[in-house]
A and B are shown apart, each in its own frame.
Chain A
Amino acid sequence: MAVMNPMEQFLVEKVVPLPPISTPGLGSLDLSITNSVLFMMLAAGLIVGFLLFAAKREVLPGRMQATAEFLYTFVDGTLTGGIIGDRGRPFLPFVFSLFLFIAMINFLGMIPLGFTATSQLAVTVTLAVMTFVIVLIIGLARNGLGFFKLFWPTGMNVFMAAFLCIMELISFLIRPATLALRLFGNMLGGHIVMFVFASFIIALGVFGMHGGLASLGFIGAGLSFALVIGLFVLELVVAGLQAFVFAALTCIYLNEVVNLDHGH
């Protein structure tokens, strides 16, 4: 039986090697274009190209414009408007681009021979830390030191509140890790499962060619082929859903600091 490594598809390879650049503070940096970078550029380029092409400002929208308007109203209505409220409007560009970027990377990874940039922990950690820092900056800028009221529960005695305050602080600080690992784990896990079942097709098909009783392997190959199709549909749902979840959690974190004293 053919033995294939399911982790091989996540290997980062250089597509356009560039000479290392030496920077004053960071030492020498390798800024080569890898397949991960290439697919992120492709995703960003596709989104920008699509939106530039679709935003024609016609009164009667065509198909492209209707799609773009649907995406916009979806993010505005469900995410920033639905979770943060009226004060969420300034964060619409950030959440909108985050949602579209992650969704596009995930969908590009679903194309055979495509590379899933979100299956790299470095990519998801960058996105998560960026979100965390933005939430922190907005929280401190909007509320000043009142930001720390976020951790102090009301309506209980001091000892209980102090204990819960520590718990709140831990759950606040662990947020970038959970945000990054959720996207990373979902993408990595989904692609490994698809790969394993896809390799069953080949392995069982080759096994079935021995003839005799071994030709039962063809039934197994057919079953796993059907399962791969089902898993592919499931992964398409997951790809969109994880982008939505990332954007929705960003909105929830923003909501906590934006509406701190309003109890939205």
Chain B
Amino acid sequence: MPETVLDMPNSPETKESAAEATSILSAGPVAAEPGMPQWFRDGQAAAWGEFAAAPMPVRKDEAWRFANLKRVAALDSFAPADPVSGEAAAQLVKESKGLAEPCARLVFANDHLIHESDGVRELREQGVLCLPLAYALMEYGDLVEKHFMVAEVELGSAKFAALHRARVRSGTFLFVPKGVVVDRPIEVFHWASGDGAAIFPHTLIIAEENAQVAVFDHFCSAAEGEAHFACGVNDLSAETGARVTYAAAQQLSAKSSAIQINSTTVGRDAEIRQLQAQLGAGWSRTESVSHLTGPGANSLMLSAAVATAGQEIDQRTLQHHESERATSDLLYKNVLFGDARTIFAGLIQVDERAHYTDAYQKCRNLLMSDEAEANSMPGLEINADQVKCSHGATTGQISEEELFYLEARGIPPESAKRLIATGFAFEAIDRLGNPAIQDLIEALVEQRFANLAE
């Protein structure tokens, strides 16, 4: 039987029971750990029931239009992850280098915390809770319960949200109390290790009134040759006047699959700026929902994706204007190489009373090969007047003029193309408004382009 694990540094490791070493789609809920609140354990069992009862997506589901469902069916090949050994964990901690000066750093491997920096304790002194989810559940169960996976999953992956709920054991719980400003970003690494390992990273950020915080999540594979499945949920909430910046860099190995389900709630005069960088995984699906619940709320949704041969990046978004006088802006940029496929399905939904809404949505695809395929479904549903809404989608290639201009200045065609593609992707990244995070993501994108050139 599994032993108790406090998801804390240097805690003893557990092995999942033999019965669980089957497919992740039939493994059942994760083994209950003592100390977890009853509501959480009940929720895990119930969620497994929901997951098992929900049908797999089929071709006729509008929420899965254009998606290659073989990729979904192939999730069957992943199994629950075993904890990593002490030595391997130490190596992963060493590799968890991102921001130069994060105010705190958490490192998870196969859903177990393997490192936390001293910054966590310093944050605690300001009243900021930056904790592994398992620990937060034990110590602040009521607070977590109020915010944990409360949003409805609207964009098609309710089944996988249930799987996450049934299997989640760790992740970041960040609570920034009223008026507290955390000036430097918090950085979190989620490692998957061992061929076929499935992980369930969770991020829950609550910024109370006028609080400010920035978080950067990394999703990484321990070895490029292995296949991993990351089924993550991240929920962000900014209460009145709060400011949250959230960035995620998905850099899983080429054989990996990823599902990321996001729900964002932006209150009165609050602002959430988020950016996802899709730089890995053979198949990646993200669902991002932004609820604008108070006047003056502002949501910025950015994405930069570099898709290469064999890769499918499937992004679904919803900008839901529930309140009047709120603003949302979305810019997704995709660069496609080889026979990569991208799917963008976005919707701006303006409720009946949400007058004076300002909502924008733009998806731009840059096709670098004759085999690449971009699918765009930018949507609008407007139920109020006195709104300003527009969306756009473009698909094109590098123009001859731009190329000629650079070649005329002695830049070889291949470098020139890379330069233009890099600039194209940076356009989304540059709008995040957090130079430290932008610089790091831009370096990751450049590295990705450099790897492609090899």
Interaction A to B: no
Q: Which residues from chain B sit less than 8 Å from chain A, CB to CB?
A: none
Q: Which residues from chain A sit less than 8 Å from chain B, CB to CB?
A: none
